[in-house]
């Protein structure tokens, strides 16, 4: 399930990036536009694409989500929708670094963004589980405290 939930935003990024990254490289390298102008245009395109993708994704997943992905829980769907803009923006930004021939920054950005993505997934998956573990431990701690001050029969032992 996790592999599928990671595959969906990557596939959406590939299908719906509108080839902005190669266009960024082309327009900056030919001198038709400056890097700041291309960056601001990329941010605007990113914002509109992200908004359109989120709205259409919520619509599609709420109607056909259980048909298209019957075994994938709904929270994974919405994590996929949140990850799409987080994957798309670095792709647009790194294309500007690539054109400016700042390969050290380009390589660093290419490595850092997947690490942030992994951290997001880790937090998304493990924070709810750790809360369940803490609730379970809290319940057990209550039993031990009651056992300490009262008889074991009071806690059902």
Q: What is the per-residue pLDDT across 128-139, written as a single tens digit (0 to 9) for each?
A: 666 676 676 666
Q: Where do the domains of the chain lie?
A: 2-117
Tokens of 153: 């029969």
Contact present, 38 and 96 (Cβ < 8 Å) = yes
CA distances from 128 to 2, 35, 136 (A): 15, 42, 13
Cα diameter, the chain = 83
Q: What confidence tens digit (pLDDT) does each residue in 35-71 have?
A: 999 999 999 999 999 999 889 888 888 888 778 777 7
Q: How far apart are CA 26 and CA 38, in angstroms?
A: 10
Q: How confident is the model at residue 73 (pLDDT cuts 50, 70, 90)?
A: confident
- Separate counts of helices (H) and strands (E) for the chain: 5, 0
What pLDDT sits at residue 45?
Answer: 94
What average pLDDT does the segment 6-29 reach?
83
Q: Which residues, in sequence order, are CB contacts of 155 under 8 Å at separation 6+?
A: 143, 146, 147
Average pLDDT, the chain: 80
């Amino acid at each position: 399930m996790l592999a599928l939930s990671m595959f969906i935003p990557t596939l959406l990024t590939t299908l719906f990036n509108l080839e902005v990254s190669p266009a960024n490289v082309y327009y900056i390298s030919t001198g038709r536009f400056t890097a700041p102008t291309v960056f601001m245009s990329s941010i605007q395109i990113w914002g509109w694409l992200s908004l359109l993708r989120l709205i259409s994704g919520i619509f599609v997943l709420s109607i056909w989500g259980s048909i298209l992905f019957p075994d994938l829980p709904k929270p994974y769907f919405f994590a996929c929708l949140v990850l799409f803009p987080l994957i798309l923006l670095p792709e647009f930004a790194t294309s500007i670094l690539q054109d400016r021939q700042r390969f050290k920054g380009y390589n660093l950005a290419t490595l850092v963004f997947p690490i942030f993505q992994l951290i997001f997934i880790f937090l998304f998956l493990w924070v709810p589980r750790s809360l369940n573990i803490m609730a379970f431990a809290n319940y057990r701690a209550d039993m031990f405290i009651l056992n300490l001050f009262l008889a074991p029969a009071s806690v059902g032992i």
